[in-house]
């Protein structure tokens, strides 16, 4: 009995079972902590891979309804981020899904038109044979973990572009991309002149030309490269060379043919020519338009597609498009050539046409072509003159309407030669501003 009492009151070694129990619990929590930390790391990698593959897939939505490029691009970027040899197959074709993203509800609906988004789901799971292994989780009864992550990317047009100046030379690398010579005179009303070229003498003024600013635009003349001058040049404020991100083409992404212009229509006229006066109607002029002799030619309001031929206006023609016209220059040889004393008055449309706001819109051509705008001081333009080729304003051509605040000239290179002049202004109040340029296609993550 005495021995039992002594054993009952003996506390030596009593901590050992408690310690064993506590250590077991601590090891269990430690194991879970280590495994959960690794799982968190792995989920981040899966999320990065899902985001990259969603962006890659969305960049191929332009090829719909063929989804093969979308799926292949997404799978490729998933493997680049988490190689099959290291992580197994984290993305399968069934987990690359095209659908519609609604920004208002921030929800993705698979296969709902319009298809503007891609959702990808990357996985490491038992069913795929690449579950995340447990390091010490076996202590707590875990052998592997299933982890997944999803990303959603949308594909669409970015913000609209607008002209950053009222005269823009868009060539990126040509010398004398903007050349003003002789006694040429330019008046820029509250707008800048921009020259994208980064070449030496990207802008060159020679002789006694004048550039005058009205209203006091502070941006002046911005040149990507250097400015050169020779003679009694009168330009105030002087051009600023070495400028970055200037002279960008705001209409490089525009395509009137996808906006309703009848670019594939049959020819209305072929090799059309007219001597003396008359009236022209909208249509497709294959082989161009040639106007000769003396007289007045009135243009009815509408779209004029000049296909693979010149718009050639003779020296003694009064060419009146004040009713509202737009010329689309389509195919090789569709150049503008206005004669020496032609009296040209052209006003852009504002009636829902794909060419609203544009007097001329030249499609992108390779190689580019050259246009010559001559005429008397009565010549005038109200709207945007957009050329992807080179433009020479020559002789005594002028470009102003007494009531106009919209004369914008954009071309690859611009050459003012002789006694020509241009009153440039990009306010365009009659058009609620100059026409918008289509933004760049963009892909971005939304979820």
pLDDT mean for each 10 residues of the chain (447 residues): 58 55 54 74 94 95 94 96 94 96 93 94 93 71 86 90 94 96 88 95 94 70 95 89 95 95 97 96 98 95 98 91 97 92 88 97 96 74 96 70 80 91 89 92 87
Rounded CA separation 425/405 (Å) = 5
* Structural domain total, the chain: 2
161 has which bridge partners?
437
Among the three residues 123, 157, 191, which one is the final residue of a domain in this structure?
157
Residues 148 and 283 in one domain: no
Please report whether residue 439 resides in a domain: no
Of the candidates 242, 157, 169, 187, the one whose C-alpha atom is nearest the C-alpha of residue 410 is 169
Among the three residues 137, 157, 177, which one is the final residue of a domain in this structure?
157
Q: With a threshold of 0.85, does the pTM exceed it?
A: no
Helix or strand (DSSP H, E) at 81: helix 68-81
Q: What is the pLDDT of residue 190?
A: 83
Residues 215 and 188 in one domain: yes
Rounded CA separation 69/67 (Å) = 6
Please report whether residue 267 resides in a domain: yes
Backbone angles phi, psi at 12, to 5 degrees: -65, 130
Q: What is the pLDDT of residue 246?
A: 95
Task: Tell me if 117 sits within 8 A of 446, measured CB to CB.
Answer: yes
Q: What is the pLDDT of residue 212?
A: 84
The CB density around residue 366, as the number of other CB atoms within 10 Å, is 7
Task: Tell me if 53 sits within 8 A of 17, measured CB to CB.
Answer: no
Residues 319 and 283 in one domain: yes
Q: What is the C-alpha radius of gyration for the chain, rounded to an integer number of angstroms?
A: 34
Q: What is the pLDDT of residue 225?
A: 97
Among the three residues 139, 157, 175, which one is the final residue of a domain in this structure?
157
Pairing of strands 147-157, 144-145: unpaired
Residues 215 and 323 in one domain: yes
Q: What is the pLDDT of residue 310?
A: 98
Task: Tell me if 253 sits within 8 A of 437, measured CB to CB.
Answer: yes
Query: Residues 6 or more apart from 46 whose CB is under 8 A from it?
Result: 82, 90, 122, 123, 124, 147, 148, 149
- Cβ contacts of 376-380, under 8 Å, gap ≥ 24: 376/341, 376/342, 376/343, 377/421, 378/343, 378/345, 379/338, 379/342, 379/343, 379/344, 379/345, 380/344, 380/345, 380/346, 380/404
Residues 41 and 111 in one domain: yes
Please report whether residue 65 resides in a domain: yes
User: Checking phi first, is residue 283 left (phi over 0); if not, alpha (psi -120 to 50) or beta?
Assistant: left
Please report whether residue 436 resides in a domain: no
Residues 244 and 117 in one domain: no
Q: What is the pLDDT of residue 442?
A: 85
Residue 57 sits in which domain range? 2-157
């Amino acid at each position: 009995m005495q021995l039992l009492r002594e054993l009952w009151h003996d506390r030596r070694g009593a901590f050992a079972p408690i310690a064993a129990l506590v250590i077991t619990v601590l090891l269990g929590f430690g194991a879970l902590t280590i495994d959960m930390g690794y799982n968190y790391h792995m989920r981040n990698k899966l999320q990065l891979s899902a985001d990259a593959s969603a962006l890659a897939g969305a960049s191929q939505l332009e090829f719909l309804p063929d989804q093969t490029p979308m799926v292949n691009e997404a799978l490729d970027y998933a493997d680049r981020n988490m190689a099959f040899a290291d992580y197994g197959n984290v993305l399968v074709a069934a987990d690359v899904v095209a659908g519609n993203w609604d920004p208002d509800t921030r929800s993705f609906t698979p296969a709902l038109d319009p298809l503007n988004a891609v959702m990808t789901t990357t996985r490491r799971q038992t069913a795929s044979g690449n579950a995340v292994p447990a390091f010490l989780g076996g202590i707590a009864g875990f052998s592997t973990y299933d982890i997944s992550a999803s990303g959603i990317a949308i594909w669409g047009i970015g913000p609209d572009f607008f002209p950053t100046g009222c005269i823009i030379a868009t060539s990126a690398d040509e010398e004398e991309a903007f050349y003003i010579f002789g006694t040429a005179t330019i008046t820029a009303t509250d707008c800048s002149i921009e020259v994208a070229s980064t070449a030496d003498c990207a802008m060159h003024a020679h002789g006694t030309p004048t550039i005058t600013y009205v209203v006091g635009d502070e941006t002046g003349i911005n040149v990507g490269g250097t400015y050169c001058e020779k003679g009694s040049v009168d330009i105030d404020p002087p051009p600023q060379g070495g400028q970055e991100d200037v002279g960008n083409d705001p209409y490089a992404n525009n395509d009137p043919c996808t906006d309703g212009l009848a670019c594939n229509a049959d020819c209305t006229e072929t090799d059309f020519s007219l001597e003396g006066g008359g009236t022209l109607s909208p249509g497709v002029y294959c082989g161009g338009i040639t106007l000769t002799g003396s007289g007045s030619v009135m243009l009815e309001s509408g779209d004029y597609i000049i296909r693979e031929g010149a718009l050639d206006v003779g020296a003694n023609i009064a060419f009146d498009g004040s009713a509202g016209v737009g010329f689309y220059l389509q195919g090789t040889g569709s150049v503008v050539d206005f004669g020496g004393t032609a009296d040209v008055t052209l006003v852009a449309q504002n009636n829902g046409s794909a060419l609203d706001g544009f007097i001329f819109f030249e499609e992108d051509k390779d190689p580019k072509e050259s246009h010559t705008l001559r005429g008397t001081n009565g010549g005038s333009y109200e709207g945007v003159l957009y050329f992807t080729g080179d433009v020479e304003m020559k002789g005594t051509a002028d470009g102003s309407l007494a009531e106009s605040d919209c004369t914008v000239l954009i071309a690859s290179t611009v050459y003012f030669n002789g006694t020509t002049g241009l009153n440039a202004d990009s306010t365009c109040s009659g058009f609620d501003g100059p026409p918008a340029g289509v933004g760049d296609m963009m892909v971005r993550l939304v979820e």
